[in-house]
């Protein structure tokens, strides 16, 4: 098991949480907002036309888009719960759906406001803190989760790409190549862990032989935990893949409903492709990919469709309001509620 964390006031934000809410994060969000303002004011964008497009949006479709979007956290929570329970040890309390769904949402929230996608580490830390599960083993389950995600992305791209390449292969193939590269890297990592399962400890021990016994022993134990989290969580992959696919389809449905709200008609292949591209663009190392997602997704839509610039801009802005801004608002509210409840429970904990 992991060593106990440093003593701190119960309910106080941990070290990862403090980094999420750090001054660099606030500065980076301000810089991203300044970039978007520059693009909107300096480039040839008709803001009044975008405003008219936004005002014409059908509110019923927008409400449905928000509701459907938040089902993705339920589906992803169900998937992560399955992976965590696969990797848990005998006597360890099983993970709950409600808890896992909340932590997935908080992870997305952290990714939306912090650099370098700290959200995965943040939710692993929260799960470790609440369930006393080994932190590194929990990170191993997230590696499996990411492998399932990228595999699903590649499948969705393989289905949609043949219908799009004739419209503008450049950007489409760039997105596909990025997804394939990520799948290759994650796949190689998992293959290495699997291939060295029996010999990995001996190899690591020989590499760490020059370190003090206490430090090398600590590192070896963390390797075992990460390996077990990644490999044991692979049991029941079809069920986990199915829950993940439902999570992705919820995002596809959100983008479709946003387009319907704005009376924008896109092909099913383009809707799937745009949803996947949106997610991949968030890998750009700004909080939530802000700036890169808006500009990149707008450019791809302009390349792959006959939509006018105001329509593209309105579509991207409304979709990002749901997938990015609403996650910040709801994630911050959830963070504060959980923090307040934990502080309130402190007297009962003694």
Q: For 143-181, how does the pLDDT look when each residue is reduced to its tens digit (9 = 90+)?
A: 999 989 988 998 898 888 887 766 555 566 777 777 788
**What Rg value do the Cα atoms of the chain yield, rounded?**
22
Instruction: Output the pTM of the full model.
Output: 0.82
Buried b (16+ CB within 10 A) or exposed e, 272-292: bbbbbbbbbbbeeebbbbbbb
Q: Is 9 part of any domain?
A: no
8 within a domain of the structure (yes/no): no
What is the residue range of 249's domain? 59-340
21-61: pLDDT as tens digits = 555 555 555 655 555 555 555 445 555 766 777 788 899 99
Mean pLDDT of the chain: 81
User: Do 310 and 47 contact (CB within 8 A), yes or no?
Assistant: no
Q: What is the pLDDT of residues 106-152, one digit of tens each?
A: 999 998 888 777 889 999 999 998 888 999 999 999 999 998 998 89
pLDDT greater than 70 at residue 305? yes
Kindly write down the DSSP assignment for every residue of 166-223, as one continuous string: GG-HHHHHHHHHHHHHHHHHHHHHHHHHHHTTTTHHHHHHHHTTTS-HHHHHHHHHHH
* 4, part of any domain: no
Question: How many domains does the chain contain in total?
Answer: 1
239 is a domain residue: yes
Residue 266 near residue 316 (C-beta atoms within 8 A): no
Q: Is 275 contained in some domain? A: yes
Query: Is 348 within a domain?
Result: no
Residue 134 counted as domain residue: yes
Residue 165 belongs to some domain of the structure: yes
- Whether pLDDT at 189 is above 80: no
């Amino acid at each position: 098991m992991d060593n106990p964390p440093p003593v701190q006031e119960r309910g106080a934000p941990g070290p990862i949480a403090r980094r999420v809410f750090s001054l660099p994060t606030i500065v980076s969000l301000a810089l991203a907002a300044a970039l978007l303002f520059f693009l909107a004011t300096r480039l040839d964008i008709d803001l009044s036309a975008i405003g008219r497009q936004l005002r014409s949006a059908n509110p019923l479709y927008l409400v449905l888009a928000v509701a459907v979007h938040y089902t993705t956290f339920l589906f992803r929570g169900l998937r992560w719960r399955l992976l965590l329970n696969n990797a848990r040890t005998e006597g360890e309390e099983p993970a709950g759906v409600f808890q896992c769904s909340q932590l997935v949402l908080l992870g997305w929230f952290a990714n939306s406001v912090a650099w370098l996608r700290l959200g995965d580490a943040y939710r692993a830390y929260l799960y470790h803190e609440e369930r006393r599960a080994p932190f590194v083993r929990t990170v191993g389950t997230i590696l499996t989760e990411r492998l399932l995600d990228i595999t699903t992305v590649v499948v969705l791209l393989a289905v949609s790409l043949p219908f799009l390449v004739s419209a503008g292969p450049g950007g489409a193939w760039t997105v596909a190549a990025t997804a394939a590269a990520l799948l290759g890297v994650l796949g190689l990592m998992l293959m290495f862990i699997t291939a060295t399962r029996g010999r990995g400890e001996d190899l690591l021990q020989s590499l760490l032989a020059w370190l003090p016994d206490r430090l090398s022993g600590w590192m070896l134990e963390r390797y075992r935990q990460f390996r077990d989290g990644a490999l044991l969580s692979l049991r029941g992959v079809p069920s986990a893949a199915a829950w993940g696919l439902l999570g992705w389809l919820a995002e596809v449905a959100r983008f479709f409903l946003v387009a319907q709200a704005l009376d924008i008609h896109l092909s099913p292949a383009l809707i799937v492709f745009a949803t996947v591209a949106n997610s991949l663009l968030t890998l750009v190392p700004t909080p939530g990919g802000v700036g890169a997602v808006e500009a990149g997704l707008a450019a791809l839509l302009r390349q792959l469709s006959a939509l006018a610039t105001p329509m593209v801009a309105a579509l991207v802005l409304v979709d990002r309001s749901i997938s990015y801004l609403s996650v910040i608002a709801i994630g911050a509210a959830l963070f504060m509620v959980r923090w307040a409840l934990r502080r309130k429970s402190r007297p009962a904990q003694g």
